[in-house]
Amino acid sequence: MAARKLYHKLETNAEKVLRFMNEEPVVYPAIQVLIDTGIWDAWTASGGGEKHIDELRGIAKEDIDPELLQHLLQLLASGNIIEETGEGLFQPTDFSLSLGDKNTLLAPALRVRTDHVMRPSLHFPEFLAKTGYRMPSDDTNSCYIDTYPEKKDYFGRCKENPSYQESFSSFLALWSQHRRPWPQFYDTQALLDSSDLSNGGALVVDIGGHHGADLFHVLKKHPDVPAGSLVLQDLPKVIASAKFTTDKIRAIGHNFFEPQPVKGSRVYYFHAVLHDWPDKTVVDILKQVAAAMKPGYSKLLINDIVLPPVGASIHQTGLDCFMLQISGKERTEAVWNKVISEAGMKIVNVWPDGRGYESLVEAELL
C-alpha cells in the first residue's frame, strides 16, 4: 500500500489521466482475449519460457491474426503482464503463467469483470444522472439491471446463464482463499463449549454460504462437531452443485427472504451476503433470522466489510462502489447498528480480521 501511495504521489496529473484513458480500460480486455484464445493455458502447459509470436499463434486454440496478436502482446508487455525480450519475442511472468494454471482460478475469476463488472461501471455515471444522483436503494431498479438488455439483477442473470454463475462462483472461490478464515479471529471454541447440540441442534447455519467454504473453516478447527451440526443454506440450484465428503455438514436449499427453517441454532452466519442488498431489504432478511433465534442463546454473526469512518482501503471502497451498482453497499458500524436494530437485534461486539479488510459483527436479540 505504501508503494502504491508513493506511485500516485509521483505520478503527474497528465500521467494519471493518460493511465485512466490508455491503460486501465484496455489491458484487462487484452488479458481476456488471450484467455479466450487459449494462449495463457497453452503457454503455461508448455512450461512457459520465451516464445516468438508465431509460436504463440501456433499454440492458440483460435486462429488469431498475427498483427492483432502483436498489438495485444505489446500492450501486455508495456503493462507488465508479460515481458518483451526482443522483436516478436515475449517471456511470461509469474502472473501470466498463473492465468494459465487452472488450479489458481485466476482466469475464470477474472471473467466476472467481463460478465458482471465492466458494463455497469461504465454505465454508472449515466444511471446516476438519470436518477438525480440519489443513493441507489431500489434493488428492483439498480444500475446493474438498467445496464443489460435482460433487465435482470445480478443473481437473475446468473440463474439464467450458467457461464455467468460459473465466473461468479470462481470469483467467490478465489476470494475465499485470500480472506482470513473467521475462526482465526473469533473464539469459536467458546461458542462450541456453550452450545447445546443434543437432539440434532445446529451449531452454525451459514446463510447464502455458496459451497460452504466458511463451514469447512469451522470443521478444520473443530473436526469432532456432531454430524449435521453445520448447516449450509443457499438457493437450491447452488446447493445442487455443492459436493461434500463429510456428514458434519448438511445442505438445505433455502431462500433467505422466506422463514428460516432451522430454529434455535447457536449461530446464524452471513459472509459477504448482506452487502448485496439495500438497507430495507437487509432488515427484511434479518427479521426472518430473528424469528428463528432462541433468546439468550442464538447469535447473529455477519462477516463483511465494516467501513472505517476515515481511511478505508481501495479494496473496501472499490467493492463498495460496485455494490452501489447493484443497489447494495458496504456499511460503517453505525449503519450496521441501524439495520440490525430495526430487525430486533443489537450489536454486542465487532471483531476485526486483523488485516484491515473484513470484520465480524456479533449481534443478539434485544
Assign 176 a pLDDT band (cuts: 50, 70, 90): confident
Q: What percent of the chain lies above the pLDDT cut of 70?
A: 100
Whether the pLDDT of residue 45 is over 80: the answer is yes
pLDDT at 260: 98
Average pLDDT over residues 85-93: 97
Select the more confidently predicted residue: 172 or 33: 33
pLDDT tens for each residue of 206-258: 999 999 999 999 999 999 999 999 999 999 988 998 888 899 999 999 999 99
CATH number of the domain where residue 7 is located: 1.10.10.10
Tell me whether strands 267-271 and 299-304 are parallel, antiparallel or unpaired: parallel
Average pLDDT over residues 106-121: 93
> Do 193 and 320 sit in the same domain of this protein?
yes
Distance CA 58, CA 40 (A): 13
pLDDT tens for each residue of 283-314: 999 999 999 999 999 999 999 999 999 999 99
pLDDT at 169: 87
Q: Tell me if residue 271 is catalytic.
A: no
> Do 226 and 148 sit in the same domain of this protein?
no
Distance CA 150, CA 158 (A): 11
Domain end point (choices 161, 177, 193): 177
Average pLDDT over residues 318-331: 97
> Do 80 and 135 sit in the same domain of this protein?
no
pLDDT at 21: 81
Contacts of 212 (CB under 8 A, 6+ apart): 206, 230, 232, 242, 244, 249, 251
pLDDT at 36: 96
pLDDT at 356: 87
Instruction: Share the mean pLDDT of the chain.
Output: 95
For residue 51, which phi and psi values (nearest 5 degrees)? -140, 145
pLDDT at 180: 93
Cα angle at 313 between 312 and 316, to 5 degrees?
A: 85
For residue 262, which phi and psi values (nearest 5 degrees)? -95, 110
Q: Is 187 helix (H, G, I), strand (E, B) or coil?
A: coil
pLDDT at 263: 98
How far is CA 127 from its chain centroid?
23
> Do 261 and 272 sit in the same domain of this protein?
yes
Whether the pLDDT of residue 266 is over 80: the answer is yes
> Do 239 and 333 sit in the same domain of this protein?
yes
Whether the pLDDT of residue 1 is over 80: the answer is no
pLDDT at 282: 98
Distance CA 334, CA 33 (A): 43
pLDDT at 295: 98
pLDDT at 118: 94
How many domains does the chain contain in total? 3
Assign 89 a pLDDT band (cuts: 50, 70, 90): very high
pLDDT at 133: 98
> Do 118 and 140 sit in the same domain of this protein?
yes
> Do 199 and 248 sit in the same domain of this protein?
yes
Bridge partners, 363 (sequence order)? 300, 347
Distance CA 22, CA 71 (A): 14
Cα angle at 82 between 75 and 168, to 5 degrees?
A: 85
Whether the pLDDT of residue 19 is over 90: the answer is no
> Which residue among 254, 271, 275, 315 is the active-site one?
275
Q: Which of 269, 124, 300 is nearest to 207 (CA)?
A: 269
pLDDT at 49: 96
Whether the pLDDT of residue 185 is over 80: the answer is yes
Domain end point (choices 150, 177, 204): 177
Assign 332 a pLDDT band (cuts: 50, 70, 90): very high
* The C-alpha cell that represents 33 in the structure block: 482475449
> Do 66 and 208 sit in the same domain of this protein?
no
| Cα dihedral value 46, 48, 51, 57, nearest 10 | 50
pTM (predicted TM-score):
0.88
CATH number of the domain where residue 208 is located: 3.40.50.150
> Do 203 and 281 sit in the same domain of this protein?
yes
> Do 79 and 169 sit in the same domain of this protein?
no
Domain that holds residue 245: 179-365
pLDDT at 199: 86
Select the more confidently predicted residue: 92 or 242: 92
> Do 298 and 318 sit in the same domain of this protein?
yes
> Do 58 and 110 sit in the same domain of this protein?
no
Q: Answer for the pair 224, 232: CB distance below 8 angstroms, yes or no.
A: no
Domain end point (choices 65, 100, 135): 100
Average pLDDT over residues 47-69: 97
Distance CA 116, CA 220 (A): 33
Helices (H), the chain: 2-10, 13-18, 24-36, 39-45, 53-59, 66-78, 94-99, 106-112, 118-130, 143-147, 154-160, 162-177, 188-193, 213-221, 236-240, 279-290, 314-325, 333-342
